[in-house]
Amino acid sequence: MQKSLSERDLAVIWHPYTQMQTAPAPIGIVRGEGALLFDENGNSYIDATSSWWVNIHGHSHPHITAKLAAQASLLHHCIFAGYTHEPAVSLAERLLPVLPGDQQKLFYSDNGSTAVEVALKMTIQYWKNKGVSKSRILAFKDAYHGDTFGAMSVSGRSVFTRAFDDLLFDVIFLDLPSKDNINALKAQIDMIADEAGAFIFEPLVLGSGGMVMYEAALLNELLAHCRERNILLIADEIMTGFGRTGTNFAMDQVATPPDIVCLSKGLTGGTIAMGVTTCTNEIYNAFLSADKLKTLFHGHSYTANPLTCAIALASLDLFLDPSCAANRQRINAKHRAFAVELAYHPEVKNVRSLGTILAFEIVTGQADSYTNELAGFLHTFFRERRVMLRPLGNTLYVLPPYCITDAQLDEVYGSIGEMLEVYARQWA
Ligand SMILES: *Cc1c(COP(=O)(O)O)cnc(C)c1O
């Protein structure tokens, strides 16, 4: 008999974030349509986490497919130093004006982590080029900015970074702002303001940190304080960008504009990886010089790949269509209604929602090993119900493509309700 995709995979593939010795065999996916993914046995799964937060318009969207095919007949790729092409220029022309603040220049790279690397290099070299010694970076304690070394350095220290901790560069970590600590945070910033060149942050929601939400007004206070002290502001909108938090970009809810914005994930609607780092002319101009050493020496072989840019343009068409915002509002209203129901469950705490994100914690009150067992239980439960949910520790969240139907959302909520009943009986 022919081997399944899942069996062939086990012989040759090493999966991300996966303990290969104990992980169940992966599900072989052959096709996607809207919010659904279909496996090799014909089962369909609701993609309730947008395939790691990237998919905003649904799988295999016909408009994206058509634009990809059109570009494929013209140009697949070409070098991006000394040469340029229509999709790269058009995307920058259309994207910059819709971004928060006064974003004037766009730098292409390969994914979210590289967008962060570029942002860090821009700020560090910005100060070097100006002859100012301000090379330290501020970040939130539980932040996540990617898995490459620079991006890991500005992310919270955790089990994900443990093996590399002694090789990561030194960062000044801040607690998330609250009414109680905002003055202490400002004092902490004052102490190191002379050395601090930039503050990188995930606006409004720490994604991988557990969908932790915090107030726009408090973030704004912190950012305004940094700006007064000449600390550049890097908004990592890789997860929050393209409508996730209600507004087009999370920074649209914050009065102090960023100097730099990092984008990826939703940028291409969840099709091909691409990263973008944008900046103000103030930053860009500090690299203009007859002195070659002031150049930003960074690039990737596939920088500004034309196929990927064409896809990002197609995704932007869909994103800027009024029906997209209407869908996001519809999902937000349904999330809020379900959040009210969830709050009655004794097994649930910290129910929260923002834009198209709904998150809560499952009460465990037990040690880490228990949380691991819980992860196994949740994984199996939702897999059997054909709903793709992937908890972060004991945090469960729903973050669907904007095209998900009301019926599909109800099915996701229903499976969560059912899970909580089983959990209450067997575990709590
Ligand atoms: C996912 C993510 C990244 C990293 O992006 P990759 O494309 O996975 O490298 C960086 N920052 C945030 C906020 C993210 O959610």
User: What residue spans of 130-155 are helical by DSSP H?
Assistant: 149-153
* pLDDT range class, residue 367, cuts 50, 70, 90: low
Mean pLDDT value across the chain: 96
pLDDT of residue 41: 95
Q: Is 144 a catalytic residue?
A: yes
Domain ranges in the chain are: 5-60+323-427, 75-320
Place of tokens 């139907």: 405
Checking if the pLDDT of 369 tops 80, the result is: no
Query: Which residues does ligand 1 sit against, CB inside 6 Å?
Result: 111-113, 116, 144-146, 202, 207-208, 236, 238-239, 264
How much of the chain exceeds pLDDT 70, in percent?
98
Ligand 1 centroid distance, CA of 365 (Å): 30
CATH architecture of 5-60+323-427: Alpha-Beta Complex (3.90)
Mutate to test the pocket of ligand 1, among 114, 153, 204, 265 (most ligand atoms within 8 A of CB): 265
How much of the chain exceeds pLDDT 90, in percent?
95
pLDDT digits (tens, 9 = 90+) for 27-57: 999 999 999 999 999 999 999 999 999 999 9
Fold of 75-320: Aspartate Aminotransferase; domain 2 (3.40.640)
Ligand 1 centroid distance, CA of 422 (Å): 33
Checking if the pLDDT of 372 tops 80, the result is: no
* pLDDT range class, residue 376, cuts 50, 70, 90: confident
* Closest atom, ligand 1, to C-alpha of 240: 13
User: What residue spans of 145-232 are helical by DSSP H?
Assistant: 149-153, 182-192, 216-228
* Closest atom, ligand 1, to C-alpha of 148: 9
Q: Which of 45, 108, 126, 144 is catalytic?
A: 144
Q: Which residue is closest in CA terms to ligand 1's atom 15?
A: 239
Please say whether the beta carbons of 138 and 170 come within 8 A.
no
3-state SS of the chain: helix, strand, coil percent to 5? 40, 15, 40
Binding residues for substrate: 52, 144, 265, 299, 390
- CA-closest candidate to residue 262, choices 149, 122, 72: 122
